[in-house]
Amino acid sequence: MKQQYKYIKVDITRHCLIITLNRIKKKNALNPTMITEIQNILDSNKENDTIRTILINSSSNVFCAGADLEYLNEIRQFSYKENLTDSQILMSLFQTMLSYPKLIISKVCVAALGGGCGIVTASDIVFATKEAHFGYPEVKIGFTPALVSSFLIERINLSNVRELFLTGKIIDAHQAKDISLINFICSTNNIDEEINIFIQKFITETSPQSIQTTKQLLYEQTHMKRKLEEAAKLNAKSRMNNDFKKGIQMFLEKKTINWN
């Protein structure tokens, strides 16, 4: 019997495992259950030799709006240990994606923000529509983008990392491509066709075992496991400060936050 998931849809088409984020009413906001579902489907297909690529997309026009508001309300009272355990859930998913033995592609239409942009950044190849926009607005609400910092620095230059992280600015698809955050920009009408062409070319021209060893090499050469583990600790620690608690409170109340 095909396994049912609460927040994602799963399909296998030829050599591609398609993971569709499907929490439409919440704009695909991440919570532990959703993250764990993505983790589980990746784990269960890691040794499946018929699958060559993973495609992560969305069933709505929002890829992922970031953190879940209801869950943010819960973590305000978390202890350091609880925050560390929580941070390690997303850390594990990033570790899995970055070391995964198959090519991971993200398809982004409209918004990929915060943790959602982290999933995009942890992907190997990113396709986006012209309407897409990206960003890490954590500092605006008292968060620290600790986990994604570990691998965003490996993807784009440090100057751009600083600007994105320290200002929390949102950039459009063309800006994202200019700094190498994404790989391809397509129209809404032809993005699926472009992805299919790319996948067919990829599975024809590349060795599965070489992809596996190359991804493992890139993961180990950047010491990513250790970096993410340290980032998870910093993330948990930063959640204990007053700015974090104030930011969540104001954000949940939909009030403008004045940090002056």
Instruction: Give the span between the Cα atoms of 58 and 23, in whole angstroms.
Output: 9
- Residue identified by tokens 């926009």 is 133
Q: What is the pLDDT of residue 1?
A: 44
Asked if 180 and 70 touch (Cβ cutoff 8 Å), the reply is no
Q: What does the pLDDT read at residue 251?
A: 85
Give the tokens for residue 148: 């994604």
Determine phi and psi for 56, rounding to 5 degrees: -105, 120
- Assigned CATH for 8-205: 3.90.226.10
Residues of the chain above pLDDT 70, percent: 99
pLDDT confidence band for 2 (50 / 70 / 90): low
DSSP-assigned states of every residue in 182-235: -SEEE-TTTHHHHHHHHHHHHHHHS-HHHHHHHHHHHHHHTTHHHHHHHHHHHH
Using one digit for the tens of pLDDT, what is the confidence trace for 165-199? 999 999 999 999 999 999 999 999 999 999 999 99
pLDDT in tens, 75-134: 888 999 999 999 999 999 999 999 999 999 999 999 999 999 999 999 999 999 999 999
The tokens describing 247, both together, are 């930011």
Place of tokens 């500092």: 139
What is the amino acid identity at position 15? H
Instruction: List CB contacts of 240: < 8 A, sequence separation 6 or more.
Output: 80, 83
What would the two tokens of residue 218 be?
Answer: 């890139």
pLDDT digits (tens, 9 = 90+) for 6-23: 999 999 998 999 999 999
d(CA 243, CA 66): 19
